[in-house]
Structure 1
């Protein structure tokens, strides 16, 4: 297969279109036209890709497609035993549509020697959402909410989704500062955008995004400053922990972060059993308990993909909702079989990235991203999320690039 090493103007156009597409997942999340926007951007990128390759496009079914298609097939089959046939088929079709979109990106970006461009696009997408958040909510509203210790409302997307893509952008920026050489202007601009992003995260009150940012930042600094000496490495890690602890403890004295710090206290109280547990945390804990009990009744195949709302409604009544936990959601809806099939999608590239990680520093960011995203599945339902499959695509491309670099290294000897 031919790999691209030089960029043309068309390549930069594709990068711009990809950044617009990824940011639109959040910006137009609550707009009924999001499907048309996704379709339009996919067609545009495919057209540019065709033009870039002189209208010669080779479509190859890789592991990326096979593993996701296996999960789509399971979701479709689960309609046979599900509560509601349409819900299961709708989930299967949704994931199929996402796969088609991501396949266009996969064809293009898997031909590059480095993931640097893709991670730059991910960073830019998060910063676009940051700027749009300031525009849509207004600077006055954001700081008013921060002053009251409240949370922004879900105006154009779920506030957790907004905060999390911004958190991913900041983590990517930290990686580029620590492991790649950024130009002074780019570093300054991104630093300003990162500060704006932190303000938006605080205004959303998203505990998930804050945990992502803390965990991602810690892992990046710990890896960057590790030493060949185990004792020195431990000492450096302890210093990083102390610095981060000091910074976080000081946030309590900043009025801007009062709301998100209070919400974190509620989450910590639920884990430790000490303090006041907020309603959101206790409700999610209740959902997990219900989900585990339901899973025990149908442990093999579950109740059918997309049927969590029906299952929960049988217990708690009221409006249908989901379990707010991807692991529990999959166990209830897909049983052990569906859960294993889905997480094999993740485990396949992660295994290869770990094995071949020494061949490119982007493996560091990929491993950290995978760790954070899988940890966040404890508080999110992501198996049918568009952005989730973009992250998965990055993992497969990273694994593919590392394998190729391993082969090139062997040939050079």
Structure 2
């Protein structure tokens, strides 16, 4: 009987952990299983590092991200509600250790591509599960059985973008089946953020393909415009999609127009941003403690105990301008390294990661992602592609 190698065991746990991010992270109780898989994966990675006596890598991204984590940890001591801040710190430390482990584990493009496929197939499995369990007799947003539908839509969006890269790279049209399934589920979650994220990222990917000829750029731009019009035609003319997401997109456009919108959720979240900005101006440098926006919201406005739905405001209120600047600087460092890597390795690969990171940064206005495990994977892998490129060459 063939023995299972340590690397094969790591790959197995890696896949199940990535899958758990999709199906367990947002579910109360089940997220413990996901965290256990993370700890097991981290243990196996560091066992391999010790056995192979690998050199420990601590890049500039990790250094800046470490400073962000330290600011978050310090904020516990002056937080309005220290227990809330401490709970969030536990999540951030787990993500940090996972990022550190991934950066030291992924030393070949083969490992990088395997992790990308873990995301692709986890997203596809999640999409199939959601479709099987959906009740189409009721016109409502699907995916809530796995947690927050916006979070589900966003992480499936990552899968679809990674899948598009493989489709363009290999011309294996089975990947188009996965992309189509993912896009249908994203539309049926009714997540405006996920739809905009996917559209923005795919357009960036199509424009920044390998071929830099001007004619190819115009062709990619034309395809992008057709893709955008096709998506918005479908959500406005197919009754199922219109009821779930088309109408929601309409209220969003109304909000940004001079006429305004009657969508209460949009109006309330706009007020939440304004409240957060006013609180930030009172404590601009260090904030009120990580994840303590919800404390201020419940005590000052009576709107309930919830987060700000805006990553920038959440960090400004929680960690002040110092913590916010460090977090986004870490994102920018990864983008810079990817742009450098694009000169010596697949441009499509690098700009795919850039598209995802930039997409998340743009969507900061409508979601909180500093504690998101999925984008943590993307930042970790993105930060090492330049090193892999130099090694491969």
- Residues 395 and 51 of structure 1: is their aligned pair in 2 closer, same or farther, counting only changes over 3 Å? closer
Match of 1:257 in 2: 241
Match of 1:168 in 2: 158
CA separation in 2, counterparts of 1:133 and 1:153? 6
Structure 1 unmatched runs, 5+: 1-7, 409-413
1:75, 1:89 within 8 Å by CA — same for their partners in 2? no
Secondary structure of the residue aligned to 1:144 is: coil
Give the CA deviation at 1:17: 2.3
> Among 12, 23, 45, which residue is 1:27 paired with?
23
1:324, 1:381 within 8 Å by CA — same for their partners in 2? yes
CA separation in 2, counterparts of 1:257 and 1:30? 26
Structure 2 unmatched runs, 5+: none
User: How many equivalent pairs are there?
Assistant: 386
> Among 6, 14, 35, which residue is 1:38 paired with?
35
1:109, 1:118 within 8 Å by CA — same for their partners in 2? no
Match of 1:133 in 2: 130
Give the CA deviation at 1:207: 0.6
- Superposed CA deviations along residues 205-243 of structure 1, whole A, max 9, x for unmatched, are 0111111121122222222386533x7734652453145
Match of 1:194 in 2: 179
> Among 357, 373, 376, which residue is 1:370 paired with?
357
1:336-347 → structure 2 map (5 Å cutoff): 336-347=321-332
Give the CA deviation at 1:45: 6.0
Match of 1:3 in 2: none
Match of 1:282 in 2: 267
Match of 2:145 in 1: 155
> Among 185, 188, 203, which residue is 1:218 paired with?
203
- Residues 365 and 232 of structure 1: is their aligned pair in 2 closer, same or farther, counting only changes over 3 Å? closer
2:273, 2:308 within 8 Å by CA — same for their partners in 1? yes
Give the CA deviation at 1:81: 2.4
RMSD: 2.7
1:11, 1:52 within 8 Å by CA — same for their partners in 2? no
CA separation in 2, counterparts of 1:35 and 1:113? 30
> Among 137, 157, 176, which residue is 1:144 paired with?
137
CA separation in 2, counterparts of 1:84 and 1:277? 34
CA separation in 2, counterparts of 1:250 and 1:154? 23
**Which of 88-97 and 8-17 deviates more?**
8-17
Give the CA deviation at 1:370: 1.2
Match of 1:314 in 2: 299
- Residues 128 and 403 of structure 1: is their aligned pair in 2 closer, same or farther, counting only changes over 3 Å? same
Match of 1:388 in 2: 375
Give the CA deviation at 1:359: 1.5
Match of 1:240 in 2: 224
- Residues 387 and 250 of structure 1: is their aligned pair in 2 closer, same or farther, counting only changes over 3 Å? closer
- Superposed CA deviations along residues 301-342 of structure 1, whole A, max 9, x for unmatched, are 111111111111233214211110000111111111111121
Give the CA deviation at 1:54: 4.7
2:45, 2:101 within 8 Å by CA — same for their partners in 1? no
Verify: 1:293 aligned to 2:278, yes or no: yes
- Residues 275 and 333 of structure 1: is their aligned pair in 2 closer, same or farther, counting only changes over 3 Å? closer
CA separation in 1, counterparts of 2:104 and 2:220? 41
CA separation in 2, counterparts of 1:358 and 1:277? 48
1:205, 1:260 within 8 Å by CA — same for their partners in 2? yes
CA separation in 2, counterparts of 1:360 and 1:338? 33
Verify: 1:181 aligned to 2:178, yes or no: no
CA separation in 1, counterparts of 2:228 and 2:327? 35
